[in-house]
Every structure is written in C-alpha cells, then in structure tokens.
Amino acid sequence: MTTVQPIAWSEAGVRILDQTRLPGEEVYLDLETVDAVAEAIASLRVRGAPLIGIAAAMGLAAAARDRAARGTLPPDWIAEAADLLEGTRPTAVDLRWALDRMRRTGADGCATGLPAEEVARALHDEAQLIWDIEIGMCRSIGEHGAPLIEPGSTVLTHCNTGVLATGALGTALAAVYVAHEEGRGIDVVATETRPLNQGARLTAWELGRAGIACRVIVDGAAASLMAAGEIDLVITGADRIAANGDSANKIGTYALAVLARAHGIPFFIAAPRSTFDLALASGAAIPIEQRSPDELPTAPHVQVYNPAFDVTPAELIDGIITDAGVLRPPLEEAIGEYGGRKVESP
Amino acid sequence: MTTVQPIAWSEAGVRILDQTRLPGEEVYLDLETVDAVAEAIASLRVRGAPLIGIAAAMGLAAAARDRAARGTLPPDWIAEAADLLEGTRPTAVDLRWALDRMRRTGADGCATGLPAEEVARALHDEAQLIWDIEIGMCRSIGEHGAPLIEPGSTVLTHCNTGVLATGALGTALAAVYVAHEEGRGIDVVATETRPLNQGARLTAWELGRAGIACRVIVDGAAASLMAAGEIDLVITGADRIAANGDSANKIGTYALAVLARAHGIPFFIAAPRSTFDLALASGAAIPIEQRSPDELPTAPHVQVYNPAFDVTPAELIDGIITDAGVLRPPLEEAIGEYGGRKVESP
C-alpha cells in the first residue's frame, strides 16, 4: 500500500504537500526558512494537529542547520523561531508539545557548549523522533482497530483523520489502512463534512491514492445508507476525550453516533491516549470552539451558528481505539486504567 | 408581515425573482415570451415544484395575450407552447398538472369558437386560478400547522419550503409564517441543506425578509442543538407520501426524524394532500432520484453517492400537516380517510 507523503525532508529544508490546493492539484512546496514554514501552517497548507507539530519541528530543524552552516546557532534564535511557529495556531496542543521538545533540545545543546552543527544535528534528530512517535502511535491505533473491521465491511467515517492530518497512518483511517493492508476487502463511505469539506476533499483523495474504494456522501445521507444496511461500522477521530469517555470531535459526529445506535451499527472513536483530558469529568466541561459564519455561504445579515465540534456521550461509544488497545465500556473505568498512565507521546 | 414576491404579473408578461442570484443579489426579470419562461424554469431561475407550475401557466397566458393582440391564437400554438414548457422539468408533477389545465382551457376556448382575445383572457384567468389554489392551500396548511408551534418555540426546518418554492406561504414554512403573524414569538433554525444549500441560500433569506429570526447551521449540527434543548419541534416538507404515511423528502430529512425521536422532539411533515400517492403501499416503493456527482466538490475519479431524497418511515412522524388538517398516527388510517378524497388542487 502506498500512501501519499504530506511531509518529507528535502535537500535544504522540508517538503510539504500544499493541502489548500487539494483535491484539484497536487503541489509540493520546498520550505527553507522558519518564516516559510510558519506561513504554510498559518495558511493551512499544512493542517491536522499532529502534522502541524511535525512540520514545525522539522522546519525549525532545517532552518537551524542552515543557520549553523553559516556560523552560529544562538539559543535566542532557537527560542524566537519556536515562538514564531507556535504563534501560528495558538490552540494546537500537538504544536506546543513538539516545539517544547525542540526548545528543550536546543537549550540543552547550547548549554552544554556543543558546536552549532551538533546542536543542529540534535534538533534534526529530535524532529525526526517527533515524527517517528506519531508514526508508531498511528500504526498501533491501526493494528488495534483493524480487527474490529470484518472482511468485506463498509466503514463510515467523518472528517479527515488520515495521512494528511498526521503525517502517518492517522487515527480512524489508520484502522482502515491496516485492514486494507491485511486484505480484508473493505470499502469506505466518507461524509463530505461541512462546512470545510475535509471528507470530500481530503479523505476521499488520500484513500484513492492508497487504492481503497471510497464513496463521498453529504452528511445528511448517512442515515439513509444506514437504514439500507450499507454501513457495517462507524469510526471517527476525537479532538478531546473526557475522563468518563464523552468525546468531542468534528461537528456532525454526535449525529452519526445517535444514528448508528438507532440502526444497531457499532460506533468507535479512534485516538491516541494523549487525547484524554482527565481533568475534565465529562463532555459538558469540554469547550466548543465557535467558528466564523463565513464558512457557510448565506445571505448577508443572516445569523449563522457554526460550532466546530460536538460531544458524543460515552454511552453511544462502543469502544475507543487507542495506541494502547481498544477501550470498551464502561469507558470511565477503561480510561482510568489506560489513559491515566503517563504518556510520553503528545 | 411582508413576504418576498417570487412571481407577479407584469405589464407585458410575468416578473420573476431570479433565484439563481440569491442570496447575493435580488434581481427581477420581466419575461414576455414562452421561450424566456421556459429558459427561466430550465435554468432554475424559477424553482420549487408549485412555483414552476404557476410560472409556466402565467407565462403561457401572458404570451397568449400578446399573440392574440397580434391577430390569432390557434389551438396548435397553445399546445406547442405547453409542450415546450412541460419539457423543461419533465418530472415535475405540478408543472404537468398546471399545463394540462391550461391546455384544456385553451382547447375549450378555441373549440367553442371564442375570439382570440377571449381565449387569452380565459387562459389568464386559469393561470390566476392555479396561483390562487396554491395560495389557498398553503394558507390552510399554515393555519393548521401554526397551533402546533407553542409561543416562543424554535422550529428546525430543512431545505426550502416557503414563498420561494410555492409563490404562496409554502408548506413547512407556512406554519412558521402563520405562527409569526399570530405573534407567537418564534424563531427558526434552518439547516444548510447540502448539496444545494437551499436552507442557507433561500430559507434564511426569505425568513429574513419577513422579519422572522433565523439561524443557519450545517446539517450535521442539528443533533447537538437538539441535545442542548434548543429545538422545540421539527417541520419539513415532503415530495411524496405513501399510503402508509412513509414520506420522501430532501436527503437529510430522515436523519432529522431519527434525531428528533431520540431527543423527544416532535417531528412533523407539512404537505398538501396532493402529495399523497395512494398507489404506493409504503416508502419502499418510492423511487429515489440519484443526482449528479458534480453537486459535491471532490477530487476527480472520486465516487460520489448523491441521492436527492430519503424516506422517513411513518412511525417517526408525529403528524402530517395538510390543507385539510393535521393527520395524526396511525397515519395509514388518517391518510385513507383524508387523502383518499378526490382533490381538485395539484
């Protein structure tokens, strides 16, 4: 199976797939400065929380190598570069996690008096490690999730949770990719995912590149496909999971969970354990970002209510597929046991 | 309450609101020939099954008056004009019904040897009658539906079922308009209605023009608003209702019905009795139109599944608001009693 490569090291920097041009055009950009990487993140050329963190770390490392080759690599330069990159998407947890690791690596190298080239090498290795952690975590999610997908199944998914979001196999899509690798003969139904169409634009495109059959539907059509017996299970990602298992994810996920239950179809969430926020007792405590009305084309002066996420209560979730295994109801207990462990990955 | 006027008689023809320009621009076009009216219908400048029928009849009448003023109004001219108009949207039942009435009126007038101007006058009166029937039917639906809407309620609706679709108060929106007229202090949540966005483009616009508060949401956000207790009832239209009450309507309606039931929210269908198709025992017999994949923007070669309608089973419907009253479960019995009567209107 060949998946698309949304990020790679290039000769003098990092090479990214410009996701704003998808699915119409497949354009790769070589980014050689911190400013260029910051621009790519801010303008959503690189998107998906994990991939943003990886891109920022790799971009910082590549620019540091260039800086070191021209003489010095002062600790202030590293700190300022990290601040600039972190400011592009202030709410992205993975971005902060990745840049904190890069700051620490840079500061440690400088403090111990390593030559500039050695510090740059350490930053490169750290960025690669951040990427490798993501790759390993996604692979684990995929391997735990794939056995849930019976041969010949049709999987319904929402939004984009795959290679384009993570620079690795993804979360919900990791299970799909591994099931496909294992020759289970599955296919996918991708919801369009309004208002930003990540399903229609990104999921369908990356599955097509991997040779996995995929049909796109409008979000409102999921119910009639379920009623027709055409959906065997639903797997979505999650942005934040409370201690009791209530899960926040892209708007429209909760509807799919209610509909799946009404039609007797299993509903799974796939997410790394780092998605658990044990400080939150339940989904009621998860803040829901309200996004710009401009994302919906309507008349001027029309009021638009545009929440980015909704919360699916734990009782509608048949399991949470994590990098440490599938957590089954009662989710509160399962999360307490697995999610409570100290996790090194973001 | 002032609603928008999507159609009107003009000096030398009919004046239509060009709905393809909404909601950005409010452009009215004076159409003075059968060809111009046919073009407006075919290109969706005029849309909504009832409004198409009214526009075709009025356009034919206006062109006939012009033809008569220039000398003769042969029966063949009337028949050919009706055929041309009917060919614009071959599956629209209201269009065929309206044009059959116009054909009969024209043929009767010619057969009894009336002067051309008298035939043209009869055609004008018939077109006005077709419009008046629609106005009366929508008003009846509105008056039967409004009492279902408690003061201060928030009504969720789907697609566009109002003035822009009918040239009158509409079906689901008729209940909203009458409740607003009665000062019930209601507001509306309109789903965007993918893939063609009739809710965001048309419903929000026409409610705004009538001074009714309306918020637009993506289709996938309806569930979380229901869970938050922000929706008091759901009313949608219907395209076809089987003898047992199963109702076909715009894709996404069935999901709203399942979600409403899961949240304990009443779900109503509003439609004239002419929507009943008593030849169909159940919704399983209702043919579902598959529409072009081009309605969903996605990558080339991506498969798109784009059904225009879905079927809501009778057991999820708390009532069907018709021009003859609200039919309550068991719907099969209620439809047998009311829907079985001979109905003069389309």
pLDDT tens digits for B273-287? 889 989 999 999 998
Could you give phi then psi for residue B336, rounded to 5 degrees? -55, -40
Q: Tell which residue, A50, A48, A66, has the closest CA to residue A123.
A: A66
pLDDT tens per residue across span A99-117: 999 999 999 999 999 999 9
Q: Is the pLDDT of residue A327 over 60?
A: yes
Residues of A identified as active-site: 239
* Contact criterion met (CB below 8 Å) for A246 and A281: no
Interchain pair A23, B189: CB under 8 A: no
pLDDT tens per residue across span B6-56: 999 999 899 999 999 999 999 999 999 999 999 999 999 999 989 999 999
Q: Which residues of B touch A307 (CB under 8 A)?
A: 221, 224
Q: What is the pLDDT of residue B101?
A: 96
Write out the E strands in B192-263: 214-217, 233-236, 240-242, 247-250
Interchain pair A194, B220: CB under 8 A: yes
Stretch B224-244: mean pLDDT, rounded? 96
Average pLDDT over chain A reads 94
Q: Give the span between the Cα atoms of A284 and A313, in whole angstroms.
A: 9
pTM: 0.93
Of B191, B224, B253, the CB nearest to A307: B224
Q: Is the pLDDT of residue A344 over 70?
A: no
Q: How far apart are the first and last CA of chain B?
A: 27
Interchain pair B306, A218: CB under 8 A: yes
Q: Give the span between the Cα atoms of B32 and A297, in whole angstroms.
A: 33
Q: Tell which residue, B6, B291, B308, has the closest CA to residue B159.
A: B308
Q: Tell which residue, B174, B173, B179, B181, has the closest CA to residue B151.
A: B179
Which of A157, A187, A224 should one mutate to test binding to chain B, selecting the residue with the greatest count of B CBs within 10 A? A224
Nearest-CA distance B210 → chain A (Å): 13
ipTM over 0.85: yes
Q: What is the pLDDT of residue A340?
A: 53
Give every CB contact of residue B342 below 8 A, 6+ residues apart in sequence. Answer: none
Look-up of token digits 């009662």: A330
* Contact criterion met (CB below 8 Å) for B239 and B283: no
Describe the crossing of helices A116-145 and A93-111 by its angle, rounded to 10 degrees: 150
Stretch B139-144: mean pLDDT, rounded? 98
Q: Is the pLDDT of residue B340 over 60?
A: no
pLDDT tens per residue across span A222-271: 999 999 999 999 999 999 999 999 999 999 999 999 999 999 999 999 99
With CA atoms as reference, the chain A residue closest to B305 would be A217
Stretch B81-97: mean pLDDT, rounded? 89
Catalytic residue among B94, B239, B246, B318: B239
Of B214, B220, B253, the CB nearest to A219: B220
pLDDT category at B339 given cuts 50, 70, 90 is low
Of B195, B205, B262, the CB nearest to A218: B195
pLDDT tens per residue across span B163-202: 999 999 999 999 999 999 999 999 999 999 999 999 999 9
Q: Give the span between the Cα atoms of A321 and B200, in whole angstroms.
A: 36
Q: Give the span between the Cα atoms of A213 and A255, in whole angstroms.
A: 24
Stretch A146-171: mean pLDDT, rounded? 97
Nearest-CA distance B310 → chain A (Å): 6
